Structure 1
């Protein structure tokens, strides 16, 4: 085995071990159980209530349910595998986030080793927000949007349609979906400025 391939293998194993240790801890965030209760409510009533029945301080106020899809996903996972299933789901999301981030960094022509190191640093920062909550899904959707936008430099005509299912999912997962409109807006603005532009055909 050549030295570069051996180094890549060792780095891959180290990153895998690091992410596994980072994401494998018991659920301690109280909001997780609130989201589980919401998911249970949606599935048992087959409806999205107009107000939050679990909060007396907001009684009678309209309740915008940005995260209903995420809540149902968490509740179904809990039904199938209990709390350990939620831990494994969080671990899966962490690996997907790391993978997509690596692809984004490589799409920016960053060296593979530098990309791995940045993924390592980013994972340490994410550790403080690594909860079984809709925002963890939103991190993945944000990076997926960035990855799609980077590919528009090569396939601007077809690639843009990949944003649609991502945005549809994001709107029903977390209120941060507004970034899904903002990022393409920045790409469009870049193409309107003088110069070659970011994605040919947009400007």
Structure 2
């Protein structure tokens, strides 16, 4: 029987945790459904969706579709196997990304224990950013780029960038990683590609060939990034999204807070890395320092970048832990029954993972109740159904977080107020959204100005508005559940 050591079991368990966690995540109402709808429309029309189709406040406004290829993949997966296949493939992709990260750490540290531990740490830091959304495809591209740099196999990186730029705006991180590695090679000290199994080892001497190769890779990657429908305009679009998202109060663009799970874990991990560096006295190269500063500043500015910080810092954690712990000793030859126990435990974990897949988890008593759902409990399924049943065309004021699901669920006669692609909307629209949602004194006048004749309001996000609407003689409730309330205008709302 092939010996299955405890170290290999740790590796298996870490990757099993990644897969099991992601595959059990219910689909939230925020992003996936909107991109799925775009993919469905693109498949039907044979054209990339490059203007808004769902909100009457932005009807026809053009935009650069950064993730059109991801939308096409979502549409294919949904048509082939529904949301079950979509969720399963997403979990496989995320697990492959962390497997690549584990391989990088193992190569740098020469220690499977360290590789498993660092990978699990990165997984924990990423846990709140692993939902099914276009950012997920960036995770695998990020890990693949990191892996290729660590192996000094530069030639596939421009090909990755050419795909990445059509899937998600985080392609710029691939360019940044190559650029940092190139800058590091100028001093003769390389970061990822300079690692070996010796703690703190750095490669010197042969930097000139790698300097040239990295520069060529960077240049080709920049050219490859232009292979998208917008060409060079993609950079202006990426730069504009962050500013617009901040202006319109999307919380994932806010700085991390120690009071939130993601922020707390980030600051703990940052402190751990600094303590390890201080205790180990390991001198960082120029590129290592640049990498630390680049990703740390990103994470400090916006909590959605904590996932990139965790993955980007994995090589540094590997070097620091290996510097303190030393190389791994071969495991002792234990009794054969111990290997059998390891195989048996791995088999039990594997069976649980199979039972947790979307096709089986709904009837699996071992899966927690909330994880048995295919769709998250905060998705307004019944509320959207009530809206869909309202007669005639409608102009609907909705909760921003529900916009994507409503775009997917409602027909073209029923237009919503807003959705998560906030950069599509004029700033005045998002300002009015906040005023109305918070029950401003002019809330009804603003609704009349937009000729809104139906409302779908969240009992959490719009709790201040709901009592005001209930007291108004101009609205009546058509449906209510634990998530929210649907209102219909008693007569058409006309602009004053």
Q: 1:59 to 1:192 in 2, by over 3 A?
A: farther
Higher strand share: 2
Deviations 1:113-144 (A, max 9, x none): 11111111222222211111110110110111
| Number of residue equivalences | 196
Structure 2: runs of 5+ lacking an equivalent:
190-203, 212-496
- Hey, what's the Cα distance between the residues in 1 that align with 2:205 and 2:77? 44
From 164, 170, 176, the counterpart of 2:164: 170
**Contact persistence 1:29–1:131 (CA under 8 A):** no
Q: Which moved more, 1:48-57 or 1:179-188?
A: 48-57
TM-score by length of 2: 0.37
> 1:21 and 2:8 equivalent?
no
Counterpart in the other structure of 2:78: 78
Structure 1 residues 35-91: Cα deviation after superposition (integer angstroms, max 9, x where no partner): 100111111111124312224444454311110111111111111111111221121
Tell me which residue corresponds to 2:6.
7
Give the whole-Å Cα distance in 1 for the aligned partners of 2:71 and 2:2. 47
Q: 1:107 to 1:54 in 2, by over 3 A?
A: farther
Structure 1: distance between partners of 2:57 and 2:172: 27
How far, CA to CA, are the matches of 1:105 and 1:160 in structure 2? 18
- Report if the CA contact (8 A) 2:106-2:114 is conserved: no
Aligned to 1:201: 209
Check whether the contact 1:50–1:62 (CA below 8 A) recurs between aligned residues. yes
Please name the residue that 2:52 is paired with.
Answer: 52
Q: Distance in 2 between the 1:9 and 1:106 partners?
A: 12
TM-score, with length taken from structure 1: 0.86
Q: For structure 1, which runs of at least 5 residues remain unmatched after alignment?
A: 153-158
**After superposition, where does 1:154-169 map in structure 2 within 5 Å?**
159-169=153-163
CA shift, 1:197, in A, is 6.9
CA distance in 2, matches of 1:188, 1:166: 18
Q: Which structure: greater helix fraction?
A: 1
CA RMSD of aligned residues (A): 2.3
Asked if 1 retains the 8 angstrom alpha-carbon contact of 2:8 and 2:112, the reply is no
Mapped partners of 2:5, 2:161: distance in 1: 39
Summarize the alignment of residues 78-157 of structure 1 with structure 2, pairs less than 5 Å apart: 78-152=78-152
Structure 1 pair 126/198, CA: closer, same or farther in 2 (3 Å)?
A: farther
Consecutive aligned runs of 4 or more in structure 1 exceeding 2 Å deviation: 12-17, 54-62, 106-110, 193-200
Greater Cα shift, 190-199 or 124-133: 190-199
Question: Is the contact made by 2:38 and 2:49 (CA closer than 8 Å) also made in structure 1?
Answer: no
Deviates more, 1:105-114 or 1:139-148: 105-114
CA pair 58-193 structure 1, distance change in 2 beyond 3 A: farther
CA separation in 1, counterparts of 2:86 and 2:210? 41
